[in-house]
Each structure stands twice: as C-alpha cells, then as structure tokens.
Amino acid sequence: MSGHSKWSTIKRKKGALDAKRGKIFSKLVKEIAVAAKAGGGDPDANPRLRTVLLACKAANLPKDKIETAIKKGTGDVDGANYEEARYEGYGAGGVGIIVDTLTDNKNRTVGDVRFALNKCNGSMAENGAVSWNFESKGHIIIPKDACTEDEIFEKAIDAGAEDVNTEGDVYTISTEPNELHAVVTGLEGMGLTPEEAKLTMVPNTTMEVDAKTARAVLKLMDMLEDCDDVQQVYSNFDISEDVMAEIMAD
C-alpha cells in the first residue's frame, strides 16, 4: 500500500472524510458537469459520467444535486465553465506528487498548488517529470465485514478485477480503467456494495519515508485537497506499519 491508499486509510480512521463531506460533494458536482459536457448526460453512453456516478453513489450525493450538475454540463441550465489541468511536483524527501484539477481560473489554481508545495518543503515539476511513474487504474473499496478473504478474491476475479489487496481495514480491488464500471456492476450483482469506486493513478515504484517526511507529505496532501479547484492528489510515498502507527498516535 502506498500514497493515496495510505492517505485514505489515515483520513478514514481520523474521521476526516466525514468532516470534509461538503467539499467532497462540491468536487463530485464539478466532475459530473465536466463529464456531461464532454460526453453527454446519458451514463450508458458516457463512460466518464458512469464512473463519477459510482463515486457519487458511494459518497451518498443527493440525487437532485446529481441531476442539476448533469444539466449544467449539458447546457440545460447555466453553470461555470471548468477546464481540466494536471500539475506535477515533488513533496518532502523528493516524493512524486500529481494534482488533478478542475478550474475556471488556471492562474488561481496553479498559484494555490505552488503555494501548498512550497509551504510543505516541495516544489513544482515539469509535465511528465512525475507522471511517467504512474498508471491509471480502477480503484474499488469493499468493507471487510462484507465477506471473507476467500470470497472477495473469488468474487472480484469473477467480476473481472485485476487484483485484490486485503491489507488494512478494507479490501482494495484494482481494475483496468475501462473495466471499472463493469466490475462494480458484477460485484453488486453478487451482493457486494462498494464503499468507494473511482479511477486513480497508481505508482509503479514507491518511496518509503520516515515519520518526519511522512508528516510533511500528508500535510501537503491535506492542503492540496482543501483547495477548491483540486479534484485528486496522487503520490508514490510508502509508509511502514511502524511509521503509520506513530502518525496515527499524533
């Protein structure tokens, strides 16, 4: 487990995900609008919209907010015009950072990203300097009380998943990007409801960090995710169980 997965575990244990539910909703609404604008408002004909609707379901985003966001994207109602932008950088200790954004003001967004990096002993990087070490994957989380380890392996593979990780307090399933929706549908057909389902960026190689560096990197990810224009943050840091326990005790 590394980067975003460890960060998600820490947030889950500290209750930070619930505390930021309003911000999560805001990010999902933006993504719905952009997906609908790019590929139309019909999820069956728009894979990107299908994917974000999976995340909306997992986050319990109200139906009326989803419908309004789709209408904004298709132009049926007025809404802001968001552009996608990806920024790359280095955090403390030289760990790689990728920041995906949706913004109506790129100057503001790049300024916010640069400020967070500089504040946490990091720096901006050229496009491609970090992303070469990552690949896109589908990411599904199933609660551990949903089934046994043997069952999750069997059901995930039957649904078309690529791999299953049973470390930690949840099952983490990975898929090819274009198979995410099909795998989720297959799992639901077997009685397994994902706690989270989305596309993510997974590092091919990771960098283990000590407690001091881990705290700085996690502070950076927190600052970045607090930016209104930031949708996702990915990193290649890895935290040992001992360091993880030390951080959780803070």
Domain boundaries, the chain: 15-74, 83-132+204-248, 135-202
Distance (Å, whole) CA 249 – CA 238: 18
CATH of 83-132+204-248, one of 3.40.50.1860, 3.30.70.980, 3.40.50.620, 3.10.450.350: 3.30.70.980
Q: Residue 37 is encoded by which pair of tokens?
A: 């604008």
Two domains, one topology: 15-74 and 135-202: no
What tens digit of pLDDT does each residue of 211-221 get?
999 999 989 99
Give pLDDT tens digits along the chain (250 positions).
344 556 566 665 555 555 566 788 889 999 999 999 999 999 988 888 988 888 888 888 999 999 999 999 998 888 778 889 999 999 999 999 999 999 999 999 999 999 999 999 999 999 999 999 999 999 999 999 999 999 999 999 999 999 999 987 889 999 999 899 899 889 999 999 888 888 899 999 999 999 999 999 989 998 998 899 999 999 999 988 888 888 877 7
Domain 135-202, CATH homologous superfamily name and number:
YebC, transcriptional regulation domain (3.30.70.980)
pLDDT per residue over 15-35, tens digit each?
555 556 678 888 999 999 999
What is the CATH T-level fold of the domain 15-74, as seen in this structure?
Arc Repressor Mutant, subunit A (1.10.10)
